[in-house]
Amino acid sequence: MRVDPSDDALDTLFQPFADGVLSWPEHGGVLFLRARDGVGLRQRPRPGLVCEQDYKPALDALHRGGLDTIELESADPEQAASKRYPLVLVLPPRQRDEARALFAQAIAHTAPGGRVVACLRNDEGARSGEDDLARIAGKVASLSKRKCRVFWTPPLDGAPDPQLARQWAALDAPREILGGRFRSRPGLFAWDRVDPASALLAEHLPADLAGRAADLGAGYGYLSAELLARCPRITALDLYEAQGRAVQLARINMQRIQSAVPMEFFWHDVTAGLSKRYDVIVSNPPFHAQGREERPDIGRRFIAVAAEALNPGGRLWLVANRHLPYEVVLDERFGQVRTVAQQGGFKVVEAIKARGRA
Q: What total number of domains does the chain contain?
A: 2
Give the CATH number for residue 106. 3.40.50.150
Pairing of strands 346-352, 310-321: antiparallel
Distance CA 206, CA 341 (A): 13
What confidence tier does 289 reach under pLDDT thresholds 50, 70, 90? low
Please check the confidence at residue 78 and state whether its pLDDT lies above 50. Answer: no
Percent of all residues in the chain with a pLDDT value above 90, rounded to a whole number? 84
| pLDDT tens column, 155-186 | 999 888 899 999 999 999 999 999 999 999 99
Average pLDDT in the chain: 92
Q: What is the average pLDDT across 195-205? A: 97
Same domain, 259 and 126: no
Average of per-residue pLDDT across 300-313: 97
Residue 51 lies in a domain: yes
pLDDT confidence of residue 295: 81
Structure confidence at residue 358 as a pLDDT band (50, 70, 90)? low
Same domain, 57 and 124: yes
Residue 14 placed within a domain: yes
- Examine the domain organization and report whether 164 and 206 are in the same domain: no
Comparison of pLDDT for 13 and 289, the residue scoring more: 13
* Rounded Cα gap, residues 261 and 255, in angstroms: 11
Helices (H), the chain: 8-13, 15-18, 39-42, 56-64, 96-108, 126-137, 162-169, 196-204, 222-230, 244-255, 296-309, 327-333
pLDDT value at residue 3? 43
pLDDT at 185: 96
219 and 134 belong to one structural domain:
no
Q: How far is CA 148 from CA 10, 35, 116, 265, in A?
A: 9, 17, 17, 37
Do the Cβ atoms of 40 and 11 come closer than 8 Å? Answer: yes
Phi and psi at residue 189, to the nearest 5°: -65, 130
At residue 81, the pLDDT reads 54
| Domain identity same for 101 and 129 | yes
Q: Is there a domain that residue 2 lies in?
A: no
pTM of the full predicted structure?
0.92
Integer CA distances (angstroms), 90 to 33, 43, 126, in order: 5, 18, 12
38 falls within a domain: yes
- The answer on 25 and 158 residing in a single domain is yes
Asked if residue 75 has pLDDT above 70, the reply is no
> Do residues 72 and 159 share a domain?
yes
Residue 293 has pLDDT above 80, yes or no: no
| pLDDT confidence of residue 4 | 46
Residue 314 belongs to a domain: yes
pLDDT value, residue 76: 47
Residue 73 has pLDDT above 80, yes or no: no
User: Is 254 a domain residue?
Assistant: yes
Among the ranges given (1-10, 141-150, 209-218, 342-351), the one the predictor scored with the smallest mean pLDDT: 1-10
pLDDT of 74 > 50? The answer is: no
Q: State residue 170's pLDDT score.
A: 94
Annotate 3-31 with DSSP letters as a single string.
--TT-HHHHHHTHHHHTTSS---SSS-EE
Q: Answer whether 213's CB lies under 8 Å from 238's CB.
A: yes
- First CA to last CA across the chain, in angstroms? 27
Domain boundary among 169, 194, 220: 169
Provide the pLDDT confidence category of residue 12 given band limits of 50, 70 and 90. very high
pLDDT at residue 306, rounded to an integer? 98
- pLDDT greater than 70 at residue 5: no
